[in-house]
Amino acid sequence: MQQAEAIVYYFIDPMIETDIERVQEIEQQSFSTHWSANTYRNELRNPSNNRYIVGKASPVPPPPREERNPDTSGRGFLSNVLSVLLGASSETPDIRYFIVGYGGLWTCVDEAHITTIAVDPIYRGRGIGELLLNGLIDQALSTNADLLTLEVRISNVVAQQLYLKYGFHPFGKRTRYYTDNGEDALIMSTDSIQSKSYQERLYELRGLLFERLRQEAADTPVKSATDIAAASYPRRY
């Protein structure tokens, strides 16, 4: 008998230490310079200044966020748009959920700085990077940050277009910032992410992202959780 196909769902969770090995695999496929496992551990052990998240794929939908991680920020209209796509943290990894991307930021006073966003090459072009960016914006809002900043390679036009879409604008350049090839970095920043106008625009963009990811779920069937694992962890199968 032919096995029934399952739909792929995408959502985000806080990064935990057991995620580091998989995060490093994605990092090695995405960047020419890499962090050590100890660096990630140190980052995760300082949540007052560092926030890291992972994007996951699963053949089953995660429980709604409000059932396991109620929103207490007073910004429910921001988080609930993606409530069916956002999971909650667990110290025991669920084998049904496979990491396909990650992101992180540093916080200092009223500013949050995005340090990294990366998606497994197999899963790029599906909106997962945008989902991760939204997760980092939520992390910044939860710390009461007013501005978000980042650096991006001058040549990375695709990433720049995503950041422009979410209200980042260029305001400077770091010459020869990237040590692998001496490429310049474009410095980008938002206006106040706490403003009513920014949050209204964010709400609108999340509605569009929600529909895109729902369509991805409908259009990307897999036979089983094992198929997702094989795609996400090619070196292990």
**Catalytic positions, please?**
151, 163
CA angle 89/232/64 to nearest 5° reads 30
Measured between alpha carbons, how far is 176 from 182 in angstroms, rounded to an integer? 4
The 8-class DSSP code of residue 16 comes to -
Q: Three-class SS of residue 12? A: strand
User: Is the separation of the CB atoms in 111 and 140 below 8 Å?
Assistant: no
CA angle 28/159/148 to nearest 5° reads 100
Would you give the distance in Å from CA 12 to the centre of its chain? 7
User: Is the separation of the CB atoms in 105 and 138 below 8 Å?
Assistant: no
* Assigned token pair, 153: 């390679």
Measured between alpha carbons, how far is 111 from 160 in angstroms, rounded to an integer? 20
Measured between alpha carbons, how far is 46 from 187 in angstroms, rounded to an integer? 25
CB neighbour burial string for 107-119, b if at least 16 within 10 angstroms, e if fewer? beeebbbbbbbbb
